[in-house]
Every structure is written in C-alpha cells, then in structure tokens.
Structure 1
Amino acid sequence: MTEQNRADGAAPLRQLAVGACVFGALVLLGALLGLVWWQFAPRAEGTALGDGQVFTGTTEDVFAGEGYFVVMTALAGLATGYAAYMVQFPLARRRLQDLRLAVLVAGFLGAVAGALLTWRVGVALDGGVHAAVGAAESGATVVTGLHLDATAFLVAWPFVFVLQYGLLDAVSIVRRDLPGVPPPPPAPPEGAAEGAVGQEGGDRTPRDGGLPPAPPARGAPVAVEHDPSGPEGTGR
C-alpha cells in the first residue's frame, strides 16, 4: 500500500517534469530561430521620411521578412509537434502513465513563448539598423530592419503544433495503441461465457438438450433399489 501511494504521488511530479522539459526545449528553439531569422531574412530599402519613418513602396522585400518568419515558425510547429508526441510515447509506456495532456499543454505554451522569442530576438539583433533609420535625414536611402507588422503570424507555431500533435494522437486512437493507457482485457470465448452464466444462475440443464431419460425396453430387467430399512438392513 505504501509503494502504491508513493507511485500515485510521484505521477503528477513526473508529468510536471516532462512538461517543463518540453516547454524549455521549445523556448530555447525559439531563441535559436530568432537568430536564424535575423541571419537569413531579406531587408527592404526605402527612403527616410524623418522621425524614423521610411517609405518602402510595395516591393517583395517589404513582405519577405514576415514571410520568412511565418514559414519558419510553421515548420517549427510541424517538427516540434511530431517530436513531442514521439518523445512522450516511450516515456508513457515505460511507467504506464498517460502523458499526452501534460505534453500538449506544455508544448502549446512553449510554442507561444517560442514564437514571441523568435520575433523579439530577431528585432533586437537588428537594433543597430533601426537606430540608423531613426537618425537618417529625410530623403536619404536606408535599409530597414526586421519587423513584424502582422502580429497574427505569431499563432502559426502553436496552431501547427496542436494540429500535428492531435493528428498523431488520432492515429494512435484508431490503432488502439495509446501510450500509457493499458489495453482492455481480452473478451472470453463465447462458449466459456455461456457456460459461466449458466453455472452462476444455477442452471442444471443437461447437455443433451434437456430431454428426460428414455424408459426401459419391454422385458428388460429393472434395477430395484435396496431398502436399508428392510430385513436385510436390520440384520446387519
């Protein structure tokens, strides 16, 4: 009983530990993606208007930086959703503990934090470019720094993460191979189940269909039961 209580008390701690590891991994990945975004995203050229304002026109470089951001974070959601489910699968089977919900919640929060961190790290690394744009005189040609005007793109990572994670869980449900969930006990054979029901209900029906025994044929000797109370019984 004591060992069982210890196991029950350690289950939430194990879920918390696994969730914290998943959250930390996604936050770290978000910081690294911010560096990658800053390194490879193109910058647009424009004309300074003063007070930090820049006219860039409608060239494709204006939207390329945000396009890089949404593609990178969406791919991160796809990869991390797959990796998180595959990692918790053997962990759940090792101690027969369902970790799906804990990893899903931690992964969603980590994806939100990772997307925010990717945005802020990339913009912060371009701080020198933003300062140069703010100090440029009106009419000067400048190169703009990274920015994210469409903040709705921040949902790409957590959305794709949940979608990928849910798809893998649906496959496990269809295959009846849920991690950490014990399989249902096999059903007994049909004949054994019927025999058990008849025995519990006090059924004494013979196996020959319940027909009465056939009467003896004519002329055949009939066995007479010995009466122990007769003369022979009293003579003992």
Structure 2
Amino acid sequence: MTQIVAVSAVAGVLMGVLWWLLAPDATGVVVNGGLGFDAREGQHLFGRDAVFTLVGAGFGLVLSIVFTLWHRRNPVAVLVAMAAMGVVGSLIAQVVGEFLGPEGDVAGLADGAELQIPLRLESDAALLVWSMVAVVVAAVVALFREDRTPWTPPAPGAPGSTP
C-alpha cells in the first residue's frame, strides 16, 4: 500500500500544476482596499472549482482502476487507502495550485486598478471528489472481477489442508 501513498502524493502535485494551468483567469478591481469582481468573473471563479473537481475525478478514476487491478487480492485495503489518499492528494493539489497562482495583494494599489484574483478553492466538497470516485470505481471493479482464488478450498495434500 506504500505505492498508493507515494503515487497519490506525486499525483497531488501533478494535479495542483494541472489545476493552475487549466483554471480560468479571473480579474478583479480594487475597491476600498479590497478586491471586487462582477458576475462574469464569478463564473470564472466557479470554473476554477469545476476544473479542480474534474481533474480530481480523473485522478480518482485512473488511480483506482490501476491499484484495484494491481492489488486485486486486497480490494478492501485498496478501497480504504484510495479513500484516505484521495483526500491527501487533493489537499496537496490545493496547496500547490494556490502557491503557483496569483497572489492578489492589493496593498498600495489605487481604487480601480485591475488585479488577478488569487487561485483559491472555494468549494471544500471538491476535496472529496477524488476519494468518492476512487471508492466507487474500486468497489465496482472488485464486484465484477472473477478472482475466486482466495475463496477456493485448498487441494488435498496442499499446505494448509487437513488430512
């Protein structure tokens, strides 16, 4: 399961970079020492959260399929690990994306000056999408696989069989 931890951490960094690259830019205007925006820019802010959510869903889908098939003997352990590491990976992506995005410091700017709105995740629920998709996919893959080896009784004379 250490592969899930390592890959999820690296995927979180990659997801943060993708979010920073794919998220739409939003421009605000300095008003009374604060950063204001109109409805059109509000749509861009929604688009930022939507990009984060969709990229997270993609990572959850791909990693869940890979690790469920790779560790097919332990579907419950994979499901739990993917659920936990999905949240961790999303948190890493949020930190990386916000670090790479614009700062939005309005100190010293006059009213009416335009400035990039900082890249922030406004929807905390978006942090759970990677995990939710991963859990559903891992459960579906485990449900439809035809690996009955752990459940078959041992052959007579095999280690673990009774005489």
Structure 2 length as normaliser, TM-score?
0.84
Residue equivalent to 1:63: 46
Moved more, 153-162 or 59-68: 59-68
Counterpart secondary structure, 2:71? helix
Residue 87 (structure 1) aligns with: 70
Distance (Å, rounded) in 1 between the aligned partners of 2:91 and 2:58: 15
Residue 20 in 1 paired to residue 18 in 2? no
Taking the TM superposition and a 5 Å limit, the aligned residue runs for 1:59-138 are: 59=40, 60-89=43-72, 98-126=73-101, 129-138=102-111
Matches within 5 A, 1:34-53: 34-51=16-33, 53=34
Range 39-48 or range 131-140, more displaced: 131-140
Percent identity, aligned pairs only, is: 25
Please, which runs of 5 or more residues in structure 1 have no aligned partner? 1-18, 90-97, 187-236
2:118 is aligned, of 127, 131, 145, to: 145
TM-score after normalising by structure 1: 0.59
Backbone CA RMSD of aligned residues:
2.0
Distance 2:22 2:108 in 1: 25
In structure 2, runs of 5+ residues without a counterpart are 156-163
User: Number of aligned pairs?
Assistant: 153
Aligned mates of 1:135, 1:35 — CA distance in 2: 30
In the alignment, which residue of structure 2 is the partner of 1:217?
A: none
Q: Which amino acid aligns with 1:22?
A: I
1:78 touches 1:161 (CA, 8 Å); kept in 2?
A: yes
Are 2:142 and 1:160 equivalent residues in the alignment? no
Change beyond 3 A, Cα 1:55–1:183 = same
